[in-house]
């Protein structure tokens, strides 16, 4: 059997055990994020999360009812984080085509820099989004970007720059899909195509391709 303990590279430095509830909660959450990202929901181990966070296993149960709810909390935090980032995009200030390009670039960069997000979503989907559904009432997980994207598409259409009839949801899903699949399945794809898809060159080629693909479609001829 593989000993995954050696993967605990990011074990947090032993901190002075101040009795700081907020802090402990956050530390657990971030340790759990790593663990779930690396091993999925079933593969994650409460023990390792405790090790990672340099906290007692029992404390995890103090803050989170069980593994499932911990996963859910992690998932919510991940969503909140990406929503935070999206907010800062300020797409409405840009020209339609520049806005679309920026959205593609943002998506790519965000996934690239936050690969846990991808694995997390995969896990969530394996479990039929059970955890997401439960979170939905409590927190606004849905992207405000959809409306914004709709406005951008409309603005482009009116100006004659964009083709009409584009469903913002479909486009949004497609933009996510192009980055997501490439990065999430990168290791499989690299083996299958016999080339490293994560070299800087490959990465920039992918980004170009995606921009061309999306803009080639959106732009009226």
In the bound state with a second copy, the residue whose beta carbon lies nearer, of 97 and 184, is 184
- DSSP for 115-155, written as a single string: HHHHHHHHHHHHTTTHHHHHHHTTS--S-THHHHHHHHHHH
Phi, psi angles (nearest 5°) of residue 71: -60, -45
Report the partner that residue 62 touches, choosing among DNA, a second copy, none (CB closer than 5 to 8 A by kind): DNA
Site for a second copy in 30-49 (CB under 8 A): 39-43
Task: Give the per-residue contact string, 125-164, with a second copy (x = CB under 8 A; - = no).
Answer: xx-xx--xx--x----xxx--x----------------x-
Q: Are residues 162 and 168 in contact, defined by beta-carbon separation less than 8 angstroms?
A: no
Binding of a second copy by 193 (CB under 8 A) = yes
Which of 31, 44, 153, 214 is in the footprint of DNA by CB under 7 A? 44
Structure tokens given for 65:
């009812």
Q: How far is Cα 83 from Cα 72, in angstroms, rounded to an integer? A: 16
Q: How many residues bind DNA (CB under 7 A)?
A: 22
Which of 7, 11, 62, 132 is in the footprint of DNA by CB under 7 A? 62
Structure tokens given for 148:
């914004």
Task: Provide the minimum distance between the beta carbon of 129 and DNA in the complex, in angstroms, as a whole number.
Answer: 20
Binding of DNA by 126 (CB under 7 A) = no
In the bound state with a second copy, the residue whose beta carbon lies nearer, of 27 and 106, is 106
Binding of DNA by 57 (CB under 7 A) = yes
From the CA atom positions of the chain, what is the Rg in Å?
20
Question: What is the three-class DSSP state of 62?
Answer: helix
Give the largest Cα separation in the chain, rounded: 62
Q: For a second copy, which stretch binds (CB under 8 A), given 26-34, 84-92, 101-109, 180-188?
A: 180-188
Task: Provide the minimum distance between the beta carbon of 189 and DNA in the complex, in angstroms, as a whole number.
Answer: 27
Element (H, E) at 40: helix 21-43
Residue 108 CB neighbours (<10 A): 22
Burial status of residue 112 (CB atoms within 10 A of its CB: 0-12, 13-18, 19 or more): middle
Applying CB under 8 A, the residues found at the interface with a second copy are 39-43, 119, 121-126, 128-129, 132-133, 136, 141-143, 146, 163, 167, 169-171, 173-174, 176-178, 180-182, 184-195, 205-206, 209-210, 212-214, 216-217, 221
């Amino acid at each position: 059997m593989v000993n995954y303990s050696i993967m605990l590279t990011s074990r947090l430095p032993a901190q002075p055990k101040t009795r700081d509830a907020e802090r402990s909660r956050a530390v657990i959450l971030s340790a759990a994020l790593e663990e779930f990202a690396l091993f999925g929901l079933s593969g994650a181990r409460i023990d390792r999360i405790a090790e990672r966070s340099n906290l007692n296993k029992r404390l995890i149960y103090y803050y989170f009812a069980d593994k499932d709810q911990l996963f859910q909390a992690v998932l919510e935090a991940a969503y909140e984080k990406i929503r935070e980032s999206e907010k800062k995009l300020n797409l409405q200030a840009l020209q339609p085509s520049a806005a679309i390009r920026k959205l593609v670039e943002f998506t790519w960069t965000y996934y690239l820099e936050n690969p846990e997000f991808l694995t997390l979503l995969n896990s969530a989907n394996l479990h039929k989004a059970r955890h997401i559904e439960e979170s939905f009432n409590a927190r606004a997980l849905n992207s405000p970007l959809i409306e914004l994207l709709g406005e951008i598409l409309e603005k482009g259409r009116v100006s004659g720059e964009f083709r009409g009839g584009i469903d913002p949801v479909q486009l949004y899903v497609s933009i996510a899909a192009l980055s997501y699949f490439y990065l999430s399945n990168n290791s499989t794809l690299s083996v299958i195509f016999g080339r490293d898809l994560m070299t800087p060159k490959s990465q920039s080629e992918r980004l170009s391709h995606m921009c061309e693909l999306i803009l080639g479609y959106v732009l009226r001829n």
